[in-house]
Amino acid sequence: MDLDGSEQDPEVQEHSPVYVGREEDIKKSERMTAVVHDREVVIFYHKEEYHAMDIRCYHSGGPLHLGEIEDFDGRPCIVCPWHKYKITLATGEGLYQSINPRDPSAKPKWCSKGVKQRIHKVTVDNGSIYVTLSNEPFKCDSDFYATGDFKVIRSPF
Ligand code: FES
């Protein structure tokens, strides 16, 4: 008999929603951190929307919860405090500016490197916030710092 759920398929367990805090608290602080099934995530509340992503930057593991949020090309991004990489809150894409070398007078354009930071799902139920880890099967660069040898879970003590 499986009274405590410990015999549940680990795959299923890993993608069940986890309570991370109260809506009223994140609305005040506009961000919070949490450990969801052994994975560190940051949750942002920005312009009345919630966004959750791996806490460590895909580039070199920088602490995204300490970054500033700015709009680039009309897209809200977290700017990593270490080397200023820009990551879209909604999709986890890495943005960069490119210049056409054949036309140096042209204005630099914002381009996407594709999804680099894993985005997780936030749900709100009766004032409680839950995060469900992404189960998108692609390999995301931020997985490197969220799993395996480079995973750093901060001790609560
Ligand atoms: Fe984030 Fe380098 S670690 S930009």
Residues 80-137 pLDDT 10s? 999 999 999 999 999 999 988 888 778 899 999 999 999 999 999 999 999 999 999 9
Give the dihedral of Cα atoms 126, 131, 132, 136; nearest 10 deg.
Answer: 130
Residues 108-123 pLDDT 10s? 999 999 999 999 999 9
Atom 4 in ligand 1: residue holding the nearest Cα: 83
Give the separation between CA 150 and CA 55, rounded to whole angstroms. Answer: 13
Complex-level ipTM? 0.99
Atom of ligand 1 nearest to the CA of 61: 3
64 alpha carbon – ligand 1 mean position (Å): 9
pTM above 0.90, yes or no: no
Atom of ligand 1 nearest to the CA of 85: 4
